C-alpha cells in the first residue's frame, strides 16, 4: 500500500508531536490507516439482499419471466415443472449473489454502500483497539492519547488514557477534530494532523504540564497502516 504522506510530511507531523510534548507530560500517538475494517459482513449482506430481491421479483412475475425464457430457448408452450422453476429461481439467486460480490470489489462502490453509522462504529472500534495496543497504560502517568485517521471511512477519532479522561471532557477535543477536518477538506492530510496535534498539545499542557524529569515514553513518529 502506497503511503498517504511523503517522507517530508511524515517528518513534519513527527516534529509537531515532539514540539507539543515539550510543554506537557502527555504522550501523543498519531496513526493514519487506509481503512478500519474489511466489511466482508456488509458485502455479504448486500449480496444476499440482492439475491433474495431478484428471486422475489421472479416469483411475483413468474409468468412474464418464464415467457421470456421460452422465447429465448425457442420453446413451444412449455409446461414448467416445479423442479425446473425451483432450479431457475436458485440459479438467479446464485448469479445475483456472485455478481454483487464481484461488483463490490470496486472499493468506491463498496464503501458507498456501507451505512455511515457502521463506518463510524468500526472506525471508533479500530481506534480503541490500536490505542489499547500502542498507548494505553504504556506511560508512567497514563497520559497517552491517540489521534487516529481512517482514510476510506473519512473518520477520525481521539482516544485518551484514563488520567486524561479523568480531567478532560470528551467535548474538549472538538477543536482538535475541527482543525483536522478543516485541512482534510482541502486534501491537506499532514496539515490536518499537525493542526490536531497542536490543539491536543495545548489541552495537555494546560492539564498535564511537563515535569523536569519527564521522559519521552512513546515514539513521536506518525504511523501508517
What are the pLDDT tens digits along the chain (225 aa)?
Answer: 457 888 898 999 999 988 888 888 888 888 999 999 999 999 999 999 999 999 898 888 877 777 777 677 776 667 767 787 788 888 889 999 999 999 999 999 999 999 999 999 999 999 998 888 866 566 666 778 899 999 999 999 998 888 888 888 888 888 899 999 999 999 899 999 999 999 988 988 888 887 766 666 677 788 888
Domains of the chain: 7-37+115-224 (3.10.310.50), 40-112 (no CATH)
**CA 175 from centre of chain:** 21
Q: Which three cell numbers stand for residue 166?
A: 479523568
Query: Quick check: helix, strand or coil at residue 5?
Result: coil
For the whole model, what pTM was predicted? 0.78
Query: Quick check: helix, strand or coil at residue 1?
Result: coil
How many Cβ atoms are within 10 Å of 6's Cβ, its own excluded? 10
Query: Quick check: helix, strand or coil at residue 116?
Result: helix
Closest CA to 152 of 175, 190, 174, 123: 123
Report how far residue 3's alpha carbon sits from residue 101's, in angstroms, rounded to the nearest whole number. Answer: 27
Amino acid at each position: 500500500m502506497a503511503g498517504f504522506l511523503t517522507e517530508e510530511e511524515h517528518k513534519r507531523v513527527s516534529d509537531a508531536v515532539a514540539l507539543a510534548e515539550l510543554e506537557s507530560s502527555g504522550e501523543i500517538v498519531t496513526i493514519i490507516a487506509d481503512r478500519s475494517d474489511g466489511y466482508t459482513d456488509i458485502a455479504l449482506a448486500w449480496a444476499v439482499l440482492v439475491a433474495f430481491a431478484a428471486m422475489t421479483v421472479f416469483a411475483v412475475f413468474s409468468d412474464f419471466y418464464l415467457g421470456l425464457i421460452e422465447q429465448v430457448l425457442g420453446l413451444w408452450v412449455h409446461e414448467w415443472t416445479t423442479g425446473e422453476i425451483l432450479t431457475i429461481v436458485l440459479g438467479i439467486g446464485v448469479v445475483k449473489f456472485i455478481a454483487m460480490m464481484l461488483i463490490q470489489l470496486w472499493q468506491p462502490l463498496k464503501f458507498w454502500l456501507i451505512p455511515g453509522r457502521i463506518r463510524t462504529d468500526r472506525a471508533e472500534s479500530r481506534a480503541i483497539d490500536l490505542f489499547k495496543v500502542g498507548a494505553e497504560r504504556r506511560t508512567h502517568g497514563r497520559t497517552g492519547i491517540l489521534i487516529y485517521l481512517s482514510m476510506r471511512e473519512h473518520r477520525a477519532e481521539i482516544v485518551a488514557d484514563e488520567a486524561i479522561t479523568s480531567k478532560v471532557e470528551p467535548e474538549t477535543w472538538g477543536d482538535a477534530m475541527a482543525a483536522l477536518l478543516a485541512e482534510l477538506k482541502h486534501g491537506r492530510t499532514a496539515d490536518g494532523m499537525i493542526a490536531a496535534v497542536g490543539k491536543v498539545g495545548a489541552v495537555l499542557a494546560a492539564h498535564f504540564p511537563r515535569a523536569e524529569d519527564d521522559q519521552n515514553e512513546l515514539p513521536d513518529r506518525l504511523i501508517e497502516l
